[in-house]
Amino acid sequence: MALYRDPAGQRLLYTFVTASSLAFASLRAHKLRTFLTLLGVIIGVGSVVLVGAAIEGLGNYAEETTSKAFGSDSYQVGQLIQVGRLSRRERAERLKYNRRIRPDDYIHLKQTTGDLILYSPYRQRPEDVKHGVQTLEGVILIGVAAQLAEIREINLTDGRFFTEQEEANRAAVAIIGEELRTQFFPEASPIGRSIKIAGYDFTVIGVQEKIGGIGGQSQDAVAYIPATMFTRLYGNDRSMILFARARPGSGLVLEDALDITRAALRARFKTRPGAPDNFDTMTPDSVREFIGQILGIIGAAVVPITMISLVVGGIVIMNIMLVSVTERTREIGVRKSLGARQSDLKLQFLFESIMLSVLGGGIGLFGGALTARLISAFAGVNLEVTLPYVFLALFVSGTVGILSGWYPASRAARMDPIQALRAD
């Protein structure tokens, strides 16, 4: 209330109201020009919001698929587990230094730490799978232990995972991915049906839930079989990866279990104290960190490109404001002759520029969010609009409005009233 009683406050309020009303009247008087001026800002803000939503949605999708394919509390141990790209030299050095994880090492870990930690071998290779006259090429055939279902939290939409007894008996049973189910058994349950792998008939006993793709590779064109059967088919001389997880009820968290596994392997491989591990490990956090780095790089490269349209929109706003100043030279002269100060004229044209950018930013924000929602609804891709990108787009559009209007407003404020009144 003090603002209304203070003469200086009243004048300031009057100045702002007058400047905003004159700016709004000018924009309303030139509707088509205003709309065309807004387009650059609308497209710029909409692009930033949409790209941000795509990056956030991609991150959520990667997080979800990683959890499904990797497990939330499991970790991997192997000779070389690559997270990110390694140079040829780095890869060769690691392969030379790191020890292979062989079946004897798996048995040793089970005997020494198996009371606290669950382990499963994880051997895979591409294989053609057949059913009747149909063949699906390049299916990832994976040999694992029965405990993998618990280690990696494998969710099944139909059937069950194989048991330890079936694993010990080298049973020819398989859990297939959603892509195999869709290809071979589109209308009926595959449970109890037969598929052919490497010349052997396998009975389908389970179907894994749909996971999607990671790194461009489908995680649904897979088939899990007992590790013992995998060894029977392809021998036992290859290196393997181990999946591991603390046993439920052991009281161990992931880091504790990993430390126990590392200590056991370092002792078995006679790794010198202070020397780095001569094997690789990977946790869900390392995968998430890598995904975050990739998305950060994408954001750093793509978002500035989309902001170019905001810069172009700012140039258009400045150009239109200069034209507006030229067209209203006589009006400026009249206002100055009637006592308008430089600050009044500067505020009027600056408000007009800011109104253009804010209005364009609001429309662009709404349009970008609506487009993201429509894409999510009809394309099956989850795009999530987040506040950081919203604030970024609005901040940049507001800054563009101020910077674009400052020079035209200053030019209008500095005009000589006599010269301005003489203008045609």
What pLDDT score was predicted for residue 290? Answer: 74
Q: Where are the domains of the chain?
A: 2-64+290-422, 99-278
Query: pLDDT tens-digit profile of 86-106?
Result: 677 877 888 888 888 888 999
Region 121-129: what's the mean pLDDT? 91
Instruction: Name which residue leads in pLDDT, 218 or 106.
Output: 106
When pLDDT is cut at 50, 70 and 90, the band that residue 378 belongs to is confident
**Do residues 162 and 171 lie in contact, with contact meaning Cβ atoms separated by under 8 Å?**
yes
Q: Nearest Cα to 313, choosing from 413, 408, 405, 410?
A: 405
Instruction: Name which residue leads in pLDDT, 364 or 25.
Output: 364
What pLDDT score was predicted for residue 193? Answer: 93
When pLDDT is cut at 50, 70 and 90, the band that residue 380 belongs to is low
Query: pLDDT tens-digit profile of 328-372?
Result: 677 767 777 767 677 767 777 777 777 777 888 888 888 888 888
What pLDDT score was predicted for residue 117? Answer: 94
Percent of the chain with pLDDT over 70: 83
**Do residues 229 and 171 lie in contact, with contact meaning Cβ atoms separated by under 8 Å?**
yes
Region 188-193: what's the mean pLDDT? 91
When pLDDT is cut at 50, 70 and 90, the band that residue 67 belongs to is low
Q: Nearest Cα to 49, choosing from 299, 267, 357, 222?
A: 299
pLDDT at residue 303 tops 80: no
The reported pTM is 0.67
Strand, helix or coil for residue 387: helix
Stretch among 40-54, 257-271, 328-342, 354-368 having the lowest mean pLDDT:
328-342
What pLDDT score was predicted for residue 15? Answer: 59
pLDDT at residue 176 tops 70: yes
Q: Nearest Cα to 336, choosing from 420, 422, 224, 214?
A: 420
